[in-house]
Structures are given as C-alpha cells and as structure tokens.
Amino acid sequence: MTPPLLKKLLPAKARFSLRKLYWLSRSWLYLGRNVFCPLCEGSFRTFLPFGSERRPQALCPRCHTVERHRLLWLYLQEQVGITERPLEVLHMAPEPILQQRLKRLLNLRYRSADLTSPLAMDHVDIQALPYAPATFDLILCSHVLAHVPDDRQALRELRRVLKPGGTLLLQARLHPRATTLEVPQAVTPQQRLQAFGQADRYRNYGQDFAHRVAEEGFAVQAVEYALAHPPQERTRMGLGNQELIFVATLPAHEGS
Ligand SMILES: [Zn+2]
C-alpha cells in the first residue's frame, strides 16, 4: 500500500519503480532452488501465498506476478514464438513485468493500451479503439473484459483491429455458474459491489465465456496450458491447476 503523501508527490511510474526496488530488495530473503519464475527468471525457495482466498505458492517474491502471468508468458514463448517472430502486438491493460519483457523484444512492434493506467503507452477506450482495421497480429487481453461496460462491443473492436489470421489471447476469472451474471439494475459502484463482489466489475463470467467470445466472430479454444507441462514443472514454476488461456482466432481471410 502506498502512503497517501507519496502517492501525491510521485508520479505512478516512479512509484512503480520504487515498489520494484522494494520487492527486489526483499526477494533476497526468499532465494533458493525450489521454484523458478519464468518472467523474472529468479529462483526462490518458495512462492508466496496470495489472493482473497490465500492461494499457496502463488506470488513471485521478486516480480509479484501470479500463476496466470507466468502461464501466459510460457504460452507466448513456447506456442506463439514471441521472442522470434516479427509481430505487431497490442497489450491491453498491460501487466508491468510482462510489458517490460515484451518491450525489450526487438522482433515486436509493441503497443500497450489502457483507459487510465500511466504505465500504458496509449490511453484508449477498448470499446472504441483508435487503431486502423487489421493492425495487429496478436492482442493480449487478460482480466479486462469483466471491467468493461459493453464487453461485446470491446470484442468487436478487438476483432476489427486484429489482422485476418490473427490471435486474441484472453484470460478471465470464471465463476462456476453456467451462464454469465449480469445485473442491469446495478449501475452504481456500490450496487456493482453488491452484485459482483467488486465495484469495478460489470459482470461475473460463467462457463459460457468462450461461447460469448465466439458469438462475436472468433474461433475459440480454451487451453489448460499448465497441463502441457509435467506435474513437477507445474509446481516448480507455480502455474496453478485451473488457469485457462482462451485462444481466439480469426480466419486467415475474413469475409466480413
Ligand atoms: Zn518473478
């Protein structure tokens, strides 16, 4: 938690750099050989517990990434060839460490975008993107859509700026219920807090998430990518057991 005075005096980028220094200095306490974070490439004796329901072995002590970040980075390296292929990449609501890794890759033309985050390169509304049609080969959009008033419009915009044959990688928190919960009467932050458990959420996705994305013109595959790795590797890299990556693609030559 940043003290209010520090928040007032320091711009967000400086605060983030300070936080990083603090994590880095504390991470020495956890150095070891039991676990490995593929994002910061640090080896530690343990990952730390994290989350409202305290998942054990979740948080990297150095770069503060959790299971889904590490899993996505592995997918990008192993399945997308992110370190080698020349790709135009759009990263929505960029996770700082992932952004740092992607920005350094000279084979990419990389843009990050967010409505307000000072860490993003472009400030945009995902429901009305300022990019030309068919601009990007790859779009990353992790844990964003539940926080967008009209997620279907956002998906149409992502589809518009994606090249034919391009890929949209999505991650989202799914609830056990079969269908997505939307409450049109919940219009204030307080009402949304009551309805969805968080004031900045507009819905809680159910198991129909992939279907919802497919309805906006994508071919969608839900990939349990942790399972592509042997159990001891899953534990060593703290990949979790239930994280899904939704791989949404467009046909190479789209008719519409
Ligand atoms: Zn790390």
- 168 CA distance to ligand 1 centroid (A)? 24
What is the helix, strand, coil percentage profile of the chain, to 5? 35, 25, 40
Q: How confident is the model at residue 28, as a pLDDT?
A: 72
List the structure tokens of 105: 């890759």
- 4 CA distance to ligand 1 centroid (A)? 27
Dist CA 156 CA 46 (whole Å): 41
Helix axes 96-103, 67-75, angle to 10 degrees: 20
List the structure tokens of 137: 């080969």
Q: Which pLDDT tens digit goes with each residue over 96-147?
A: 999 999 999 999 999 999 999 999 999 999 999 999 999 999 999 999 999 9
- 104 CA distance to ligand 1 centroid (A)? 17
Cβ atoms of 137 and 167 within 8 Å: the answer is yes
Cα 249 to chain centroid, rounded? 17
Q: How confident is the model at residue 74, as a pLDDT?
A: 97
Query: Which residue, 58, 52, 18, is CA-closest to 37?
Result: 58
- 166 CA distance to ligand 1 centroid (A)? 29
Q: How confident is the model at residue 4, as a pLDDT?
A: 61
**Percent of all residues in the chain with a pLDDT value above 90, rounded to a whole number:** 81
Q: How confident is the model at residue 30, as a pLDDT?
A: 76
Query: Which residues place a Cβ less than 5 A from the ion ligand 1?
Result: 37, 39-40, 60, 62-63
Dist CA 105 CA 95 (whole Å): 16
User: Tokens 């956890």 — which residue?
Assistant: 30
Q: Residues of the chain whose pLDDT is less than 50?
A: 1-2, 254-256
Query: Which residue, 32, 108, 38, 129, is CA-closest to 78?
Result: 38
User: Tokens 């004796």 — which residue?
Assistant: 45
Could you tell me the CA-to-CA distances from 3 to 7, 95, 159 in Å, in that order?
A: 6, 22, 40
Could you tell me the CA-to-CA distances from 220 to 74, 133, 211, 245, 251 in Å, in that order?
A: 19, 21, 8, 10, 11
In the CATH scheme, what is the homologous superfamily, with its name and number, of domain 65-249?
Vaccinia Virus protein VP39 (3.40.50.150)
Q: Is 135 helix (H, G, I), strand (E, B) or coil?
A: coil
- Stated pTM of the model: 0.89
Q: Where are the domains of the chain?
A: 1-64, 65-249
Q: How confident is the model at residue 255, as a pLDDT?
A: 47
DSSP-assigned letter for residue 152: H
Burial 137-147 (b: 16+ CB within 10 A, else e): bbbbbbebbbb
Bridge partners of 247, per DSSP, are 169, 221
- 12 CA distance to ligand 1 centroid (A)? 21
